[in-house]
Amino acid sequence: MEFLLAIITGLLYAAGLYMMLRRSLVKLIIGLIIISNGANLLIFLLGRITKGHPPIIPGDSKIFTEIYADPVPQALILTAIVISFGLQSFAIILIKRAYQVVKTDDLDEMNTIEEDYK
């Protein structure tokens, strides 16, 4: 399972970076979304994956008696997902607006030199 997740994480980072290096604005945002998913998976992976042992102490004992899954990475991922959700929705509105104002989605053409006085 770890091996598979490691491969997937690597693929997500690579795909995300590749998309970010394209010239289209939409692909840029898609790249950012993919790469942030990769980061979330990485936290999950590096928090050690433990199957079938929820971090719940059995009623008859005072402490953990066996290995348990670390709940912290999941809390971190949840926070990161919520934050990136907010950022992504802002990003999508921004590119829509940018498309309306600049009338292109080519990043190379977003370099209007500002002459504020004629």
Partner 1 sequence: MQQLLLYPLLFQLFLSIFLMFFWKKIDAQKIISIVGGFIAVFLSGVLFYTVWNSGIQTVQAASWEAPYGITFVADTLSATLVLLTSIAGLAVSFFSSASVIPARLRFGYFPIYHFLLLGLTGAFLTGDIFNLYVWFEIIIISSFVLITLGGEKAQIEGAVKYFTLNILASIIFLTAIAVLYGLAGSLNMADLATIIPQLENRKLVEVAAILFLVGFGIKSAVFPLYFWLPASYHTPPSAVAAIFGGLLTKVGVYALIRVFTLIFLEDVFLDQILIVIAVLTLFSGAIGSLVQKNVRKIFSYLIICHIGFMIAGLGMGTEIAFAGMVFYLIHDIMVKTNLFMVSGLIYRIKGTNNVRFLGDLYDKFPKLSLLMFIPLLSLIGVPPFSGFWPKVSLITASLNEKNYIILGAIIFGSLLTLIIITRLWANVFWKKGKELTKRDHFLYFQKMTKAKKIQFLVPIIMLAGVSLYIGFGAEHMQQLSNRIASELIDNTQYIEAVIPQNN
* Binding to partner 1 in span 29-58, by CB under 8 A: 32, 35-36, 39-40, 42-43, 45-48
**Contacting residue, 2, 68, 102, 106, with partner 1 by CB under 8 A:** 102
Smallest CA-to-CA distance from 77 within 43, 32, 36 is with 43
**Beta-bridge partner residues of 24:** 106
List C-alpha distances in Å: 18 to 1, 12, 60: 26, 10, 53
Helix (H) or strand (E) holding 102: helix 72-102
Question: Distance between CA 7 and CA 19 in Å, rounded?
Answer: 18
Q: In 3-state terms, what secondary structure has residue 56?
A: coil
Give yes or no for residue 28 binding partner 1 (CB under 8 A). yes
Q: Does 11 bind partner 1 (CB under 8 A)?
A: no
- 18 alpha-carbon distance from chain centroid: 15
Within 74-93, the residues that bind partner 1 by CB under 8 A are 76, 79-80, 83, 86-87, 90-91
Does 104 bind partner 1 (CB under 8 A)? Our answer is no
Which residues make up the interface to partner 1 (CB under 8 A)?
20, 25, 28, 32, 35-36, 39-40, 42-43, 45-48, 70, 72-73, 76, 79-80, 83, 86-87, 90-91, 94-95, 97-98, 101-102, 107, 110-112, 114-117
